[in-house]
Amino acid sequence: MDSFNSESLSKFESHDDLELLSDITRFHAARTPDNIALSFEDRETTFSGLDRHASQVANGLILEGIPKQKNVAWLDANSDHFFEMLFGCAKSNTVICPLNWRLAASELVYIINDSEAEILFVGQRFVETVATIRDQLVTVATIVVVSGSHSHWQDYRSWRDSQSVDDPGLTPSPTDTAIQMYTSGTTGYPKGVLISCGALLASTTDGSAEMAWNQWSSADVSLLVMPCFHIAGLRWGVMGLIPGATTLILPEFDPVRVTESISTHRVTRLFLVPAALRLVLQVAKGQTCDFSSLQLIWYGASPIPLALLKEAMSLCQCDFVQTYGLTETGAQTTYLPPQDHHRSGTMRMKSAGKALPNIMIRIEGRAGQILGPHEIGEICVRSPANMIGYWKQPKETARTVINGWVHTGDAGYLDEDGYVYIHDRIKDMIVSGGENIYPAEVENAIYGHPAITDVAVIGVPDDKWGEAVKALVVLAPGRDCTPEEIIAYARAHIATYKAPKSVDFIDELPRNQSGKILKKDLRAKYWEGLGRSV
């Protein structure tokens, strides 16, 4: 590890040159110290204040004896304090491990123990949960309460403010680990994904006119509502801070607060997963909302029905950009720019866009061969933001990262212009009568029906075809529809063999916290007792 001094910043002509997480607060504290970096509830933090707090956190972790490259566990909803910890870990060359606070207590025990964290920061909302599992946390020596108090544990602000404000003067290597983020664990135990200090700042822009939509300024106001225990939320927060913009933080997603915040704080940019975007639109249609400040909405993390996208474009009247990526790829790998979005709807709007600068994407067949345009296979990504690997799981790492390429497990194809079309997770593909059917394509066809507000498509057992396509449909409030009508609607938009053979109605689709439908849960009852669940 090299020592840091303020002269090191002189090599950076602009924020585009920043290389490490720790560079961000130091850079802006030196140039625009009084600009607002974070706004949360009734608190505003300047860049000089954020840099100072990050130094205090770093010094506190050093005094606690947390070794370099060891995990610091964080269990709380979004807040300004999270980013103090993020940059404090960066300054002390420790690793922040944000925990999914929606997990069950037993799941938290597994992850905290697996991470080998020696210190745990916990929000007041989750103190009771941690108290019940305290004896099971075998490596945790210290617990600090982020907000509120506890009779035996120190509170965060007292802990932080008792530390020196002097920068500890450390800079990690760009290849050192900065973040350990656990996958959702929808199949098997969650895996810790190791993300390097340089990954989140890996270049995703260039000077071309096509990328002009991604040129931020310090005048921007970014709204962070997606959880920072997922890579999309965390990276969105970092993306706003890199150019010195103000990041407005909500503790968690609330569609009413999102619409109010856009209007009140004149938000210019935000990121939403499609499920969250749908809820925001439902609120916006029921009241008068001022979205005139919005310049750009990023969306991604799961497929978006074309009908939903067209509705959002019509209502919000701003630019839209789609992105695709995984935790293992450091979030964004592709972009579908505003110029590819048309309110009439186009084939290209069904894609996830094309590779960002410095990122390569290819499609591989089952034997590892590289496939040509329109040939469906596994999407593979080579990116400077790719993960280092899985924590303590070299075999899983070797299966996922092959010759520098992350094998995503997603099925899709590239067209002649390099646009990525994602069908589904490979494991979600339905094989019916020898034909490969991708649920997302069927869902997109069904979603446009006016009586439907949500839909998931799965494969269910079929004596004749092996698997048959089933649609699980959530009807819009006050609307009615028959299975036959939905099947006929699908057949009008896609090939007959892809259309659902049956339709079940459901009150709500199960989703994980990134908005992805839990297809495994939906399939379970149909495959029970059959020895497999495809």
Which residue is listed with tokens 């040129």?
215
pLDDT at 21 over 80: yes
Q: What are phi and psi of 219, to 5 degrees?
A: -80, -10
Q: What integer is the mean pLDDT of 275-291?
A: 87
Tokens, residue 321: 């950009």
Interatomic CA distance for residues 9 and 166, integer angstroms? 16
CA distance 401 to 419: 22
Q: What is the Cα–Cα distance from 296 to 318, expressed in whole angstroms?
A: 6
Question: What superfamily in CATH does domain 430-527 come from?
Answer: ANL, C-terminal domain (3.30.300.30)
* The pair of three-digit structure tokens given for residue 310, joined into one six-digit string: 């067209």
Q: Are 262 and 287 in contact (CB under 8 A)?
A: no
Cα–Cα nearest to 415, from 457, 466, 383, 375: 375
- Specify burial of residue 64 (Cβ count, 10 A radius: 0-12, 13-18, 19+): middle
pLDDT value of residue 87: 98
Per-domain residue ranges for the chain?
2-196, 203-359, 430-527
Mean pLDDT of 489-501: 86
Lowest average pLDDT, out of 54-58, 253-257, 409-413, goes to 409-413
| Confidence at 187, pLDDT banded by 50, 70, 90 | very low
Q: What's the CATH class of domain 2-196?
A: alpha beta
Question: What CATH number should be reported for the domain whose range is 203-359?
Answer: 3.40.50.12780
Determine the pLDDT at residue 417: 96
Do the Cβ atoms of 154 and 146 come closer than 8 Å?
no
d(CA 37, CA 222): 10
What pLDDT digit, counting tens, does each position of 216-274 carry?
A: 999 999 999 999 998 999 999 999 999 999 999 999 999 999 999 999 999 999 999 88
In sequence order, the 6+-apart residues with CB closer than 8 A to the CB of 185 are 107, 191
pLDDT tens digits, one per residue of 312-348: 999 999 999 999 998 999 888 999 999 999 888 888 8
Is there a shared CATH topology between the 2-196 domain and the 203-359 domain?
yes
